[in-house]
Each structure stands twice: as C-alpha cells, then as structure tokens.
C-alpha cells in the first residue's frame, strides 16, 4: 500500500510559557505543501526568518534542542516535533513569536491533542521511507558510554535505557514497539530535572520558566535547608523538609518509568530532524540531545552517501528527499 504524505487540515495555535526564557509564547502550526518538511518561522523578528528543521541546523543541545541559522535561533523544539512525527505529519510550517517553543506541561500531549483535534489532510505525493537494509548505523560517546544504533528492520521501534547516579533514578527502560503506541504511552511523559542541577542551570540563564507544572523535579541528594529554601523560593514552590528525598511536582508520575519514557520521546523529536520517516529498530543507551543529534546527522550522512552512489535503484533501500 502506498502511503501518501500528510499535512494539517487547518492551522492551530497554542500559548504557553517558555521553559528557559519564561516568556509568554504563541506558537502556530500551519498546513504546508508536499515535500516541504518541517520548517520554523520566527514571527517576532523583522523580515523572513525560516529555519529548516534538519539535524545539521542544530546549533546547541544544552538542556534541549536548539535550531538556528546565521541570523536566528529557536530552542526546545523536540516535544512538538515528536508530536508531528508520531502523528504522521510530513509537512508543517511552524510560526513562533519567541526564541523557543512553549514548554506546555513538559511533554508532547498538548501538541498531540491539537493535531488530533484539527485533523490531517492526505496529499498527492508519496511518502517514501528511509531505511538501510544492509547496514547498522551507530554513534557512541566513548567518554559517557551513551550510544544509539539503527538496526535494519521493515518497521520502526525504539528500545531505550537510561542510567543516573541517583538513589531515586538509577536505571530505567522504555520500549516503543511501534509509533502507534506513542500517543497512548509516551506523549504525556514529562521532562525532568534534578534539584542539584537547578542552581547551575539558573546561573546559565536557563529554566526561568520551570515549575512544578511543567517538569518532574527530583530531590535525590540532601542539601542544607537554607539552600533548598532558597531554590524553592526561586521556583515559587512550597518549602519542604530538606531531610526528605522524593519527587516534586503538582501531578504524580504518569508511569513508574516516566523519565525513561520522556527520554524516548526526546529521541523521536530529535530523529524527526533526519527529514523523513525511518524504517529500522533503534537501540539507545543513555540518550540525550547531544548524542541524539549526532545520530540524526550520521543517518543523514549515510542517506546522502547512498544517494550519490546510486543506491536508490537497489531494492530495499527507501529514500525521501527532504
């Protein structure tokens, strides 16, 4: 069966706070023509500033994925891109009036719900999947041990493991057997941060919009009461006894492995920057935005190599020009 490309039936708008800037942000998702892919337009800057959402345009991976050109940047794009990819949207123009996407509740669910509410429109062009039936593609960080591998398969799945030096979050796994499971099992998985990281992030002018409604906050190392009180006041949350470790957020965990599920969600958002849909089995160990982006770049490099070597005519190779 031939799969057609798809776009949104109509535009939709969301408003929310920026995780790092704290700004009140409006983002608008628009239908786009065939073979357009995902593109992002900054509407708060004079002139036309459009960024192609492709792996080589990532300029930073500090606490999120940042896309940019020589003139403009936009950060925290991964949750929205994961929603578009998982909902089978090929083409979309995203307008945003700030240097980052709104964090919403720290997951993809708000974007998914609006896509489902708006509906999708089939287009005439064929969607051609990208796959490498005769090779594995692997990237590894020799220092941290983080790695991602794309293994040949006729379907798409992800198995991911995370590991932290934490009494509350040591090791977790998450498994997506098919992209159809994303909406039910992964879209609500929220981003997370350790309390011990917060002061450093604030010093770097980040997470100014972070709170207990848009992140899972993990208090896993006892600190001085005065220091914890100061951080609680900065985050505008209720003070707590510094001797009691635990998870801090206004809504309980959606699943015992919600942090691992969120890391898998991030993988999808970051591989959306390959520029087409993928066939293959992804195995990830300690994923993060930096290694995710290296992985997406490596896939694109192989994609371009196959194109140049005329592998497009070999049965089993799937190609989509972004």
Please state, as a whole number, how many other Cβ atoms lie within 10 Å of the Cβ of residue 107. 25
d(CA 315, CA 65): 35
3-state secondary structure of 81: helix
The verdict on whether residue 302 carries a ligand-binding annotation is: no
Q: Which of 20, 49, 244, 289 is catalytic?
A: 289
Q: What tokens does 128 get?
A: 């051609």
SS (H, E, C) 263-301: HHHHHHHHHHHHCCCECEEEEEECCCHHHHHHHHHHHHH
3-state secondary structure of 211: coil
The verdict on whether residue 105 carries a ligand-binding annotation is: no
* Residues in Cβ contact with 244 at an 8 Å cutoff, skipping those fewer than 6 apart: 219
The answer to whether 289 is a known catalytic residue is yes
In contact, 293 and 68? CB cutoff 8 Å: no
The verdict on whether residue 36 carries a ligand-binding annotation is: no
Give me the active site residues, please. 289
Binding residues: 79, 262, 266
Binding residues for Zn(2+): 79, 262, 266
């Amino acid at each position: 069966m031939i799969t057609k490309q798809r776009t949104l039936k109509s535009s939709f708008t969301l408003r929310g706070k920026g995780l790092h800037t704290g700004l009140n942000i409006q983002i608008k998702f628009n239908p786009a023509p065939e073979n357009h892919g995902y593109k992002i337009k900054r509407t708060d800057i004079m002139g036309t500033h459009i960024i192609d959402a492709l792996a080589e345009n990532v300029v930073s991976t500090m606490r999120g994925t940042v896309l940019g050109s020589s003139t403009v940047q936009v950060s925290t794009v991964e949750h929205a891109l994961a929603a578009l990819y998982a909902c089978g949207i090929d083409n979309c123009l995203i307008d945003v009036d700030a240097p980052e996407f709104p964090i919403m509740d720290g997951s993809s669910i708000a974007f998914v719900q609006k896509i489902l509410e708006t509906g999708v429109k089939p287009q005439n062009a064929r969607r051609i999947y990208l796959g490498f039936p005769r090779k594995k593609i692997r990237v590894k960080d020799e220092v941290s041990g983080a790695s991602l591998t794309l293994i040949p398969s006729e379907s798409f799945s992800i198995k991911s493991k995370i590991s932290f030096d934490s009494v509350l979050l040591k090791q977790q796994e998450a498994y997506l057997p098919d992209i159809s499971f994303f909406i039910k099992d992964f879209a609500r998985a929220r981003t997370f941060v350790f309390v011990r990281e917060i002061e450093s992030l604030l010093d770097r002018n980040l997470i100014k919009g972070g709170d207990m409604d848009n992140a899972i906050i993990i208090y896993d190392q006892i600190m001085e009461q005065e220091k914890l009180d100061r951080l609680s006041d900065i985050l505008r949350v209720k003070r707590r006894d510094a001797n009691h470790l635990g998870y801090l957020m206004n809504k309980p965990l959606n699943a015992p492995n919600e942090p691992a599920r969120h890391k898998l969600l991030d993988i999808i958002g970051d591989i959306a920057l390959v520029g087409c849909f993928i066939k293959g089995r992804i195995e990830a160990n300690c994923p993060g935005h930096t290694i995710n982006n290296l992985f997406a770049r490596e896939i694109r490099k192989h994609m371009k190599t196959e194109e140049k070597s005329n592998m497009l005519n070999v049965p089993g190779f799937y190609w989509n020009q972004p």
